[in-house]
Amino acid sequence: MSSSSETGAFVQTPSQTVGPFFGYALPYQGGADVVDRTHPAAIRLHGRVFDGAGVGVPDAIVEVWQPDESGVISTELGSFERDGYTFTGFGRVPTTRAGDYTFTTVKPGVAVAGGVAGVAVAGGDATGAGHPEAGAASAAVAVAGAPYALITVFARGLLHHLFTRAYFVDADGAESFESFAQTDATLSTVLADRRATLVASQDGPGSYRFDITLQGDNETVFFDFDA
């Protein structure tokens, strides 16, 4: 088969840019609404995608994939046909002419689904499902890591998509980003002077801003999970 090399290994198919013409293919109705605006925990997650000249990128498409507010990772179908109630954890939205994107979602909890080895969940309930308090209680006790949403960026000019994480920090400072950095294994490896690019900071009631800078002095930290 063409995708296997002489050694018999299955070698990855290379990435190519999403190009400029995805606009009638990838965006979909409801893509921005991970939850409905009437959801009691609904927040706005928004920002601008900047290029290396500080100009907004009008032809990017941003995806979010995150646990719900209690840290449960959804296995529900329905991301393409929202029913307004089911949390699927996935959203996708193209940037505007200014380079802006907006999701309606919830602040993620620390992911607990699957019970990752090394993460002791208080009370022995590894699923977290149906126990909204479990995530919060264990966060204070034993959960390693800080809550975040996985953000993926595609754009014309990006030959390979970029992964980053939006860590939510409230304006009241109840959870400080520096405390996240002490408990989160990944954050602790990110140079202190670049960590701030991973903050979705509260810019209003129920609103968090997460700008994505593709290149330059304030370049967002992008991750390679293929370590």
Q: Is 19 in the site for Fe ion (CB under 5 A)?
A: yes
User: Which of 8/205 has CB closer to another protein?
Assistant: 8
Residue nearer to Fe ion on the CB measure, 98 or 159: 159
**Which lies closer to Fe ion via its Cβ, residue 20 or residue 204?**
20
Could you give the maximum distance between any two Cα atoms of the chain, in Å?
58
Contact 15, 159 (CB under 8 A): yes
Residue 194 or 203 with smaller CB distance to another protein = 194
97 lies in the binding site for another protein (CB under 8 A): no
Query: Is residue 193 involved in binding another protein (CB under 8 A)?
Result: no
Return all residues near 50 (Cβ < 8 A) that are at least 6 apart.
56, 57, 99, 211, 212, 213, 214, 216
Q: Which of these, 81, 61, 79, lies nearest to 21 by C-alpha position? A: 61
Q: For another protein, which is the closer residue by CB, 73 or 136?
A: 73
End-to-end Cα spacing for the chain: 27
Binding partner selected for residue 7 from another protein, Fe ion, none, CB under the kind-specific 5 to 8 Å limit: none
Binding of residue 58 to Fe ion (CB under 5 A):
no
Question: Is residue 12 part of the contact set for another protein (CB under 8 A)?
Answer: yes
- Binding segment for another protein (CB under 8 A), chosen from 129-137, 152-160, 168-176, 201-209, is 152-160
Distance CA 5, CA 9 (A): 6
Choose the contact partner of 174 out of another protein, Fe ion, none; CB within 5 to 8 A by kind.
none
DSSP state of 102: E
Is position 84 an interface residue for another protein (rule: CB under 8 A)?
A: no
Binding partner of residue 221 among another protein, Fe ion, none, CB under 5 to 8 Å per kind?
another protein
| Residue 82: partners with Cβ closer than 8 Å, 6 or more residues away | 30, 33, 36
- 214 touches 162 (CB < 8 A): yes
Question: Which residue from 33, 43, 68, 89 is in contact with another protein, where contact means CB under 8 A?
Answer: 89
- For 158, phi and psi rounded to 5 degrees? -95, 110
Among the listed ranges 131-139, 149-157, 174-182, 200-208, the one in contact with another protein (CB under 8 A) is 149-157
Which residues are near Fe ion by CB under 5 A?
19
